[in-house]
Chain A
Amino acid sequence: MESGGGNASDDIDAMFSDLLGEMDLLTQSLGVDTIPPESAKLNQDSEFKLSIGFMDVNESLNALEDTDLDALMADLMQDINATEQVCNAKALAASSQAFSDSEFWNSTKTPDFPEFYSEPPASPRRYTELQSLDLPPPPPDVTLPPPPPLEPPEPLTKEEQEARAKADKIKLALEKLKEAKVKKLVVKVLMNDSSSKTLMVDERQTVREILDNLFEKSHCDCSVDWCLYEKNPELQIERFLEDHENLVETLSHWTRDSENTLLFVERKEKYAVFTNPQNFYIAKNKAEGKDMKEKNKGALLEECFCGTSVIVPELEGALCVKEDGKKSWKRRYFLLRASGIYYVPKGKTKTSRDLVCFIQFENVNIYYGMNYKAKYKAPTDHCFILKHPQIQKDSQYVKYLCCDDPWALQQWVTGIRIGKYNKTLYDNYKVAVQKAGLASRWANLSNVEPTKSSISAAPQPNGHPGQLQQALNPVSSAFPQTCKQEEKRTYNADTNYPPPPAHLVCQEPMRGEVEELPPPPPPSFEPSPPPFLPPQMPAEHSRPKPGPPPPPTRHFPSATSAAPPPTLIKRKNSGASNEPKPSVRFVDLPAPPPDPEHFPEPPPDFLPPPPPCFNSNSGGPPPPPPPPPPPPSNPTINAVKRPLVPRRSDNTGITSNVRPGGGGSSDKPDLMSDLMKVLQKKRAALNE
């Protein structure tokens, strides 16, 4: 604990200097553009991971004017300290859960109706003020990466001064922000591996924009199959959010104590109807599903989606249904029409006039039901449900449907989506394709540097170099697979750099296996294995080697799973003493969310998000059996490292990787990750 504390305080210093830097940035921007830059400002504050309340404009303004800034700061401190404790507790608790909660906090307050808010009983007012102030610290809003022990009064005072000096400008900014009335949330997104990313989402952002964001932050292939995936463990349901949906709206339906999670995964089903329209529009059963020429596919899509009205696939068949809160499943003959789902009542024909409406799509979303055989005694596990998005628990208003086979399930889910979203779905797809194309090109460009270095440096058996080169080739988004691989490779290369390749190898094979089998589904669970691995590492070493060559990991996220690497790094550090300060190392890792672009990311991501990982990490270090063999890649590591660092600074302007305190210009993500680091350290210390 004590040792950890020492480090922590260092880190905190660093953090605060970061913070100050950010304040500077903010104020600068304020000074420059006072009128137009609403959006700019918004972005900025989003960088702080703050949420802004709108309704409280006047309140907070008044508050600012009336109250002494000092007092405000003091309050702030109190709040922070209080929340910090809570957060710590929470983080610990969370770490014991397999599911890290992706909670988010809606920080919007409406002072107008204080009565309605059963919220933080203590000084709600202060709360609002804090938020509106944009001060980075409102840890309450932040989810996991919460509040590092803010202790030292010194930085605060500094801050205070700064704050005072800039109070006017901030005020101005506040007004603007309030006018914009933009609600923001901090959201944790679980990646395909155990890691996660924390994002600031404002209420105007669509899922598409957030995906783009995530593309930037993770080096995935940007294929059209990536999606945000909502999971509700309570109902055992999940669904991918459509690209045009508004994330904040979806999240605001979650309950405060929700165990729901948000994942960033690849789902082929998302746009399967556009990649293989014949399976939905022509084939009547699985046997008929054949391939089709691209040209014909295009014509078919044109026909179905480009007319005045979208053609909903003709779909009918017997499904089992469980509704009205009953326990039994009833078999009925259902038909899909553009206006809703209908069924044929007993003894009637399936002519339109006899059909009975089962449900219309306006107010419901569609979800996959997982393992319903066990949960609800469904006839099969191929279930889907329809419910109002706000319903989060089992209720009579949820409609459960069960198909005979996965093929039928896919048909129905897709058909219903087409019925519900119509042309929007196709538009989404077109944008996604476009983005994927751009992104892959972009990624290639940005990868160039690192690739080279890694290539030269790593003539490993892994074949990384070759792969990397492949990565260089412009891969069109149209071929997600290639893209994916490419991405993976780059990723591996990246990960390589910090940790000994050997380790990577070990872990990768495993992960690769896991992921390849069930592509994206259980990403959140996957992470768990790695944590336990570390101790066993040695034993597995032999295994990994064969695996490494073609980075088996399918998904970039797996790369992210580099999670293990971090630990490795640590050990290494201590062992190799590349850099004297372990804390520094840590910093490197955590910094995840911030660096949109590259390598450093993986480690950080992994750290902050899933508590389980934390455990592993913290657990890892203590028993540190420094994974010895950084065989052929050792040289590589160093070489790679360098290139990496520059990159980072290029992109993010963050030097903080090396020196936590240095990066005055680092953006919010850094701050968060820094916080994370501190927390982690603390935890590690505790464990020790």
Chain B
Amino acid sequence: MALSGIDASWELKIAVEETGPEADPITLRVTGDIHIGGVILQLVDKMEIKKNWSDHGLWWDQKRCWVLKTNWTLDKYGIQADAKLVFVSQHKAIRLQLPNLKTVKVKACFSSPVFRSVIGICKILNLRHPEELSLLRPVEDPNQKKRRKEKDLEPEEVVDMESFATPRGIQSQGYFHPNGAHYMRDTPEGEAAYQILAISQPSVAPELIAKMYRPSSLIDKAQIHSRMSRHRGLVSHTELARFQNVTIRPLTTNLTVPLLSPLRQYDVVRINQLYEQSRWAVLLEEIECTEEEMMMFAALQYHINKCSLSGEAEEVHKSSEFDEVEAALSTLEVNLEGSNPNDVLDSITSIPELRDNLKLFRPKKLTLKAYKQYWFIFKEMTISCYKNQEVFGEPIQQMNLKGCEVAPDVNIAAQKFCIKLLIPAPEGMNEVILRCENEDQYAKWMAACRLAAKSKTMADSSYSSEVQNIRSFLRLQNANPSSQLASDTNAEDINTKSLVSFRYQKKYKIKQLTPRILEAYQNVAQLSLTETKMKFIQAWQSLPEFGLSYFVVRFKGQRKDEVLGIAPNRLIRIDLGVGDMVKMWRFNTMRQWNVNWDIRQVAIEFDENINIAFSCVTADCKIVHEYIGGYIFLSTRGKEHSETLNEELFHKLTGGHEAL
């Protein structure tokens, strides 16, 4: 030991992850001026394990930090003989819960700031705009634990993406396969993972939705954000166990969703994840919506499920384009040959017609007239009705359905298939009800009515799919699953209750719900899969509460807690008791904001000498700071949505004192 005193060297013990926690640490003889790089070199030599150690680094357990600067000396770091160092891999697998509630295992970097790790994860998942995302620690309060246990009983499916390395050549703007496909799809495992990421998941049983955690108050909503982690290095290996479950969660803000169709292909995963996030936000009542809005969301979900399951997937897009070209070509042909008048004649007369016996009823005040049977002819956009099949002379009545409102009035159990028409006329709306004999007839006439309302005839290519849609929806409504109609396609096995949030599950019976969803559905039935998802996202973004993150705060000089809502463009002060907005400040009138890290207070100055200051109750003030900084960063992004990320600025805006 005397020797050590002489040459000023001392023993440094380093544990190695690979040898297991029980194994003795490896002892190195070092001096204070030796570089970290030298230490690692010695260590590797001594271990005599052949391996690629390049991803490994030293973790200093007491100080909870990484010792990564290889050109620094031990002295510079202040490492002495009592330091517990661990030699571990910097990249480890984490279990990441995606917005669609699927869990994937991905490699994430533990040694860099969260933001960096998120960028890395996004590269693997091939998502653009990592700056909009962050990681969220799983819920840990006792209530949740119970739930979690229950849930854990069902083995959770984890998609292993650990082996996916970032393909070479991936730039920050994402990697585009030469033929436009996602890089993962090159391998079979990749394809499977891709399906999980890019294709929306079927609906969950309504009971499950009911069981899931729903924030019921503003305070609950405020809690979520206390779990957000942004800046700290992910975790040490020792904490790994605790942080194995991480949710990736967009800051729901200026999500730049590209609208250009060429870009969409690359954004399939992103759009799907956004859709999933918005869907769960709506279903779990994280964001409130009205009944009408809920019905629309339900209809969109129904349509998305249907498209996804029927395998149309993204091919829809291509094929529809193809169809258009085809159609254009054929019309062109017709045009060119147009000199033959018979062609024209044909094209006119070839519009299909419907002829049937239906019952007509015009609801009017104080009349109790029953349904009366007539002979109806549906041609182009007009329904004519005659006394009987001998169509002589003028029809008894004629209805032009263009621009009319069509509503179903169906009760399968009672074998009631009615079409309610509100036909606009200069004097007001004429209400007419057509009663069909059976499902089949109903589907045909209903589809024709809907198309006519949108100024299309039955010659339109969408007619047959419309008929199909109506049929499948009728099947949905069929309360008795054992009926002979039992769905041949499992796609139709959707419980409409699973499309709405718990509140509406309670409020309505399936019987009431289905027709309402059907009604909303007719407006979206013709959209392609991606369009529908986009529409869902847009509708979600249009909700008044969209993008608001809540924090319970106490304003300077106030005695009671209040809620601060942070939206992408403004701050809102909300009365905790009533939930009313008290005051609003917009970010673009903000001059500066400061955080006093000692007293944990955020102070903001706005134009016209408006100053506010508050301390945070439910979350660290750093998180509030990160939110504000993050939104301001997002607003500085280039208008042209340039893809290069200004990381430095991001850290400056969100890092607080740690960034300095």
- Chain A positions near chain B (C-beta within 8 angstroms): 35, 55, 57-58, 61-62, 112-113, 115-116, 172, 175-176, 178-179, 253, 255, 282, 296, 299-300, 302-303, 307-312, 314, 337-340, 342, 351-353, 355, 357, 360, 362-363, 388-393, 395-398
Q: Give CA–CA (A175, B254) in the complex, Å.
A: 52
Contact flag A308-B426 (CB < 8 Å), given A176-B338, A363-B405: no
Mark each residue of chain B from 533 to 555: 1 if its CB lies under 8 Å from any CB of chain A, else 0.
Answer: 01001110111110000000000
A-B contact pairs, 26 of them (CB 8 A): A35-B336, A58-B341, A112-B348, A112-B349, A115-B393, A115-B395, A116-B384, A175-B341, A175-B344, A179-B338, A308-B257, A308-B534, A308-B541, A314-B544, A337-B293, A337-B542, A337-B544, A339-B292, A351-B579, A353-B288, A353-B290, A355-B290, A363-B405, A389-B403, A391-B429, A396-B428
Name the B residues within 8 Å of A397 (CB-CB).
428-429
Q: Give CA–CA (A353, B289) in the complex, Å.
A: 6
Nearest CB of chain A from residue B306's CB, rounded to whole Å: 22
Name the B residues within 8 Å of A338 (CB-CB).
539, 542-543
Nearest CB of chain B from residue A230's CB, rounded to whole Å: 14
Q: Is the CB of B579 within 8 A of A57?
A: no
Name the B residues within 8 Å of A337 (CB-CB).
290, 293, 542-544
Name the B residues within 8 Å of A353 (CB-CB).
288, 290-291, 503
Within 8 A of A (CB), among B181-212: none
Q: Give CA–CA (A299, B254) in the complex, Å.
A: 14
Q: Is the CB of B428 within 8 A of A352?
A: no
Q: Is the CB of A57 within 8 A of B537?
A: no
Q: Is the CB of A390 within 8 A of B348?
A: no
B153 interfacial by beta-carbon distance below 8 Å: no
Residue of B nearest to A112 (CB): B348
B40 interfacial by beta-carbon distance below 8 Å: no
Name the A residues within 8 Å of B336 (CB-CB).
35
* B interface, size bucket: 35 or more
B147 interfacial by beta-carbon distance below 8 Å: no
- Chain B positions near chain A (C-beta within 8 angstroms): 254-257, 259, 288-293, 296, 334-336, 338-339, 341-342, 344-345, 348-349, 379, 382, 384, 393-395, 398, 403, 405, 424-429, 503, 523, 534, 537-539, 541-545, 569, 579, 586, 588, 639
Q: Is the CB of A175 within 8 A of B398?
A: no
Nearest CB of chain B from residue A167's CB, rounded to whole Å: 15
Nearest CB of chain B from residue A365's CB, rounded to whole Å: 11
Q: Give CA–CA (A389, B426) in the complex, Å.
A: 9
Nearest CB of chain B from residue A399's CB, rounded to whole Å: 12
Nearest CB of chain A from residue B572's CB, rounded to whole Å: 11
Q: Give CA–CA (A58, B348) in the complex, Å.
A: 10
Q: Is the CB of B427 within 8 A of A61?
A: no
Out of B289, B341, B539, which one reaches A352, CB within 8 Å? B289
Contact flag A360-B292 (CB < 8 Å), given A58-B344, A314-B544, A390-B403: yes
Nearest CB of chain A from residue B152's CB, rounded to whole Å: 32
Nearest CB of chain B from residue A174's CB, rounded to whole Å: 10
Q: Give CA–CA (A79, B302) in the complex, Å.
A: 58
Q: Is the CB of A388 within 8 A of B393?
A: no
New A-B contacts (19) at CB < 8 Å, excluding given A35-B336, A312-B542, A398-B428: A57-B344, A115-B393, A115-B394, A179-B334, A253-B426, A255-B426, A308-B257, A308-B259, A309-B541, A339-B539, A352-B288, A352-B543, A352-B544, A388-B429, A389-B424, A390-B403, A393-B426, A393-B428, A395-B427
Residue of B nearest to A256 (CB): B426
Q: Is the CB of B341 within 8 A of A61?
A: yes
Name the B residues within 8 Å of A396 (CB-CB).
428
Contact flag A391-B424 (CB < 8 Å), given A308-B255, A312-B542: yes
Q: Is the CB of B344 within 8 A of A179?
A: yes
Nearest CB of chain A from residue B604's CB, rounded to whole Å: 18
| Most chain B beta-carbon contacts within 10 A, residue among A172, A176, A308, A312 | A308
Q: Give CA–CA (A28, B497) in the complex, Å.
A: 67
Name the A residues within 8 Å of B545 (CB-CB).
352
Q: Is the CB of B426 within 8 A of A391?
A: yes
Q: Give CA–CA (A353, B579) in the complex, Å.
A: 14
Q: Give CA–CA (A57, B344) in the complex, Å.
A: 8
Q: Give CA–CA (A392, B398) in the complex, Å.
A: 19
Q: Is the CB of A351 within 8 A of B288?
A: yes
What 3 A-B pairs are tightest by C-beta distance, nearest first? A395-B428, A338-B542, A390-B424
